Structure 1
Amino acid sequence: MKNLILIGMPGAGKSTVGVVLAKQQGYHFVDSDLVIQEQTGLLLHEIIEQQGDDGFRQVENRINADLAVKHSVIATGGSVIYGREAMQHLKKIGVVIYLKLSCESIAARLGDLRKRGITLREGQTLQQLYDERVPLYERYADITVDCENKSIREIVAEIAARLPK
């Protein structure tokens, strides 16, 4: 089977679900944010501070477009959907799974947005960012899983049941 690529808002549980899903499927686990940090030698918020949101997205797009992994669950950064090359590559090498959660639930899970490496434009609210991203997540998703009020185990079971055979 191809890779399994998790997309969704920061705080949706991509990394947490990804680790459990990888164990269940017998896959490797790759966190693309960690790959970005390894390749740049910088934390995500440091890249944003030094290069701005657009610079960060260029780095994120380039590194995700070059991911060469097999038999892996890939947890992506929430802004990966802005990178056309990255998303074309990811769709080619795997099944894209959107972990959907309401903006209210996302807000409740997130602390300091900047420390999480979240790219917000000047004056942009989390709700505005959410409204901007959701159509992109939906466009790229092969499978959408509503994660509202579900445990990690329930989410992983739903993903496993919906994977192409």
Structure 2
Amino acid sequence: MHSKKGNITLIGMPGAGKSTIGVILAKNLSLAFLDTDVLIQLRRQCPLQRLLEQYGHLGLRRIEEEEICQLDVSRHVIATGGSAAYSDRAMRHLQAVSHIVFLQASFPELLRRIHNFDSRGIAKAPNQSFQELFAERQPLYQRYADLTIPCDQRSQDEIAEDIAARLD
């Protein structure tokens, strides 16, 4: 990992492990960690779910795009919100400043991990099912990924080690 300011960006579905694996990866590589969902909540002083209720899913995606496009960091692991890949502008910015890693988890695995789909602050269209959201987002993640890491039936430590080894 010798270019792109030494940053690694993790993308993928809610429940794929971006935040947890991001912390482990950052610790293993002596990098800082930044979670864009937490950044949004800190700057707006408001939980994602409330932002979603107030501005709708498209409004939350615009807020996310704005925050991502303002990122100017080096030597960070960046965990994005699952909807970051909807913004070509945000993803081009992330491509310019980081290596993008898609944490690929299957639909059954995500269902096993996520129990708060309706209250988690997921930027989805009204009445859109998790399965529809999954199907809609997969090609977006694949489009922007420099590296795809399968996550099913692997520990978070194994996944972090795999990412580090492949980016070395």
Check whether TM > 0.5: yes
Tell me, in whole angstroms, the C-alpha distance in 2 between the residues paired with 1:107 and 1:126: 9
The SS at the match of 2:50 is: helix
Q: Counterpart of 2:143?
A: 139
1:34 aligns with 2:38: yes
Per the TM alignment, residue 157 of structure 1 is displaced from its structure 2 partner at its CA by: 1.2
Per the TM alignment, residue 51 of structure 1 is displaced from its structure 2 partner at its CA by: 0.4
Per the TM alignment, residue 70 of structure 1 is displaced from its structure 2 partner at its CA by: 0.8
Tell me, in whole angstroms, the C-alpha distance in 2 between the residues paired with 1:154 and 1:50: 39
1:93 aligns with 2:127: no
Q: Counterpart of 1:50?
A: 54
Which residue type is aligned with residue 40 of structure 1? R
The SS at the match of 1:74 is: strand
Matches within 5 A, 1:1-150: 1=2, 2-150=6-154
Per the TM alignment, residue 119 of structure 1 is displaced from its structure 2 partner at its CA by: 2.0
Structure 2, unmatched stretches of 5+, are none
The SS at the match of 1:6 is: strand
User: For each residue in 1:19-75, what CA deviation from the matched residue of structure 2 results, as whole angstroms up to 9, or x when unmatched?
Assistant: 000000000000110111111111100100000001100000110111111100000
Detail structure 1 runs of 4+ shifted over 4 Å in the superposition: none
Q: Structure 1 length as normaliser, TM-score? A: 0.96
Structure 1, unmatched stretches of 5+, are none
Which residue type is aligned with residue 125 of structure 1? S
Which residue type is aligned with residue 136 of structure 1? L
Note the aligned Cα RMSD (angstroms).
Answer: 0.9
Task: Report which stretch shifted further, 16-25 or 151-160.
Answer: 151-160
Q: Structure 2 length as normaliser, TM-score? A: 0.95
The SS at the match of 1:29 is: strand
Which residue type is aligned with residue 66 of structure 1? Q
1:158 aligns with 2:162: yes
Aligned residues: percent identity?
43
Per the TM alignment, residue 7 of structure 1 is displaced from its structure 2 partner at its CA by: 0.3
